[in-house]
Structure 1
Amino acid sequence: MPVGRRPPPAGPAAVGTAGGTAHAAVRTAPGRRRRTNGRFARADRLAPYVLVAPAVLIIAGLRLYPLALGVNFSFTGDGDRNGQNVGLDNYAALFDDPLFTASLRNVGLLVLLLPVAVAVPGLLATFIYLKVPGHRVYRSVYFFPAVLSPVIIGAVFNLLLAFDGPANSLLGAVGLGPIDWLGDPGTAMYAVVGVHIWATFGMGLVVFLAGFATLDASLIDAARVDGASLPKVVRHVVVPGLSRTVQFVVVTTMIGMLTSMFGLLYVMTGGGPEGSTYLPEYYIWFQQGQMSRPALASAASTVLFGVMLVVGMLQLAILRRSGRED
């Protein structure tokens, strides 16, 4: 192009081409945006499943699969019938065994004593939260029993609850006769459960204290201004406000009472006297470790799992209903 001359203006064809390209870009941008948004939406929907998948695989591989194997093994025989399918014979043998039926009766006793096991850490947590006199002592010593071995705890309480031990010495000092705490079938189970509650209430207390961190303190202050007594504050303010926490502690405490008392039973009573302190977990150990009857022990484990499932669901249903009524 010669110097000094301006380029010719773009013709209609060039303008039309540029305008068509712009209009095409405008037309295709929303479509591309919709496709991109659709991919992001699908990714958002899949993200929770991807995040949960490792935990589900671990639970399925390490929990559900062994549980299914144990249930299947409970339908096989022991001894001369080892590996043979025996149907429901093991379950029939369980319910014909007085030791197993006694262990189930003791499960009913644990259910009746469960409110005590939940109330102890709940009340102590309430005292600490409300800063009643002595709350600093509770805060400093409440977790100490939880770090002790059940073997140590059982040995210590064997000495304290012996027929000539300190507990009976104190009863004698106030004019009450001695009690055979661990040798009387009528008191042995209560003694072991009491020791278990003392040894494990620290975990429940920690959970309750965490629940109090979410409680609206203004409600308690308002109740105090209105002149409500401590029992009424607990009944009408604390318990409804901690309903979820109470549900969690109830279920975990019941599971602990059914599956974590073996150490105390082994050290303190050995299942006696007269089989009065047998629980399903102790019966399972006895059949597996002492009688070499693993299939029967698997059947007892399956029954224990069913009992725990039913009791837990009933407890949650009752607690939810009471929460709605409040």
Structure 2
Amino acid sequence: MPGGRRAERLAPYVLVAPAVLIIVVLRLWPLLLGVNFSFTGDGARNGIAVGLDNYRELLDDPLFRTALRNVGLLVLLLPVAVAIPGLLATFIYFRVPGHRLFRGVYFFPAVLSPVIVGAIFNLLLAFDGPANAVLGGLGIGPIDWLGDPDVAIFAVVGVHVWATFGMGLVVFLAGFATLDSALVDAARVDGASLAQTIWHVIVPGLSRTIQFVFVTTMIGLLTSMFGLLYIMTSGGPEGSTYLPEYYIWIQQGQMNRPALASAASTALFLIMLVVGLLQVSLLRRAGRED
């Protein structure tokens, strides 16, 4: 019997050991190697310890500073990127007419390749394309969606949100399956408006789901836009659509500077970690206040 109890205590560790081993070997160990490599030099100084020289060079590079500013812009736009699938999932939950059709239509862009999405929107957002034709019909002058440095980043981010919000929609719908429908019915009986029901019933009830979608959406914005950037703007115009992942690819793939790319990767990881922890902290605090 003592042996049986010992085996029972060890069983959970044995079961999780393969997953932990995979994470350590394929994630943590390469991450540590990349961080260590970021403190070495490129070119003639390859393999030589250079301290913080790569990080100083990053801060002095205007393209990397532009990438950091764009990260700040993404953080500001993040609530919008989360609210869109959240609101659409709410309408589907309340079974608006055609909700089954909308569920499939909204998810469809998520299965398209970023290359295909980028090529399609390059045609739609061309200076003489359909989008400007519609604006012209409304008496609004044409917009250089992908050629204006002040507009291009918003265009690319908007396309990314359109192409990926289907995944967030699915997560929200799964969260609605755990929501106590009696609370929603009680709010209706009390005469609460849709906005009041969303704010006082749905948002607190889906707080954990919202936290998850916030973090995963942020990770997607920071690490999954390379395909769109490459196809739609290639980092232009004037480097205005640079993001850290695109900067990393340029340094590694075109400039042959793997150590500097490792430093940029480490900086991106730290940014994601800090922003993610701040988001979770703020959302938890808001949930407690509600």
Instruction: Give the TM-score range, shorter chain.
Output: over 0.9
Rg comparison, structure with higher value: 1
Question: Aligned pair 1:311/2:275, yes or no?
Answer: yes
Question: Aligned pair 1:261/2:225, yes or no?
Answer: yes
Residue in 2 that maps onto 1:102:
66
Question: Aligned pair 1:234/2:187, yes or no?
Answer: no
User: 1:202: Cα distance to partner?
Assistant: 0.5
Residue in 1 that maps onto 2:117:
153
Which segment is superposed worse, 153-162 or 46-55?
Answer: 46-55
Residue in 2 that maps onto 1:143:
107
Q: Which has the higher contact order (CA 8 A, sep 6+)?
A: 2
Question: Aligned pair 1:220/2:220, yes or no?
Answer: no
Q: Which amino acid aligns with 1:119?
A: A
Paired with 1:229 and 1:169, the residues of 2 have a C-alpha distance of 38
Paired with 2:285 and 2:22, the residues of 1 have a C-alpha distance of 34
Q: Which amino acid aligns with 1:110?
A: L
Q: Which amino acid aligns with 1:211?
A: G
Paired with 1:136 and 1:249, the residues of 2 have a C-alpha distance of 22
Paired with 1:140 and 1:118, the residues of 2 have a C-alpha distance of 19
Q: Which amino acid aligns with 2:23?
A: I
Residue in 1 that maps onto 2:133:
169
CA RMSD of superposed structures (Å): 0.9
Deviations 1:225-278 (A, max 9, x none): 111111111111111101110010000000000000000000000000111000
Within-5 A mapping of 1:125-144: 125-144=89-108
Question: Aligned pair 1:186/2:131, yes or no?
Answer: no
Name segments (4+ residues, structure 1) moved above 4 Å.
none
Residue in 2 that maps onto 1:8:
none
- Please report the TM-score for the alignment, with normalisation by the length of structure 1: 0.87
Secondary structure of the corresponding residue to residue 143 of structure 1: helix
Residue in 2 that maps onto 1:14:
none
User: 1:140: Cα distance to partner?
Assistant: 2.6
Q: Report the count of equivalent residues.
A: 290
Deviations 1:76-115 (A, max 9, x none): 1111111111111111101000000100000000000001
Paired with 2:97 and 2:152, the residues of 1 have a C-alpha distance of 34
Paired with 2:70 and 2:8, the residues of 1 have a C-alpha distance of 50
Paired with 1:213 and 1:136, the residues of 2 have a C-alpha distance of 15
Paired with 1:116 and 1:89, the residues of 2 have a C-alpha distance of 37
Paired with 2:101 and 2:140, the residues of 1 have a C-alpha distance of 30
Q: Which amino acid aligns with 2:119?
A: A
Secondary structure of the corresponding residue to residue 41 of structure 2: coil
- Please report the TM-score for the alignment, with normalisation by the length of structure 2: 0.98
Deviations 1:193-230 (A, max 9, x none): 00000000010001011111111111111111111111
Unaligned runs of 5+ in 1: 1-35
Match of 2:12 among 22, 45, 48: 48
Secondary structure of the corresponding residue to residue 142 of structure 1: helix
Q: Which amino acid aligns with 2:270?
A: G
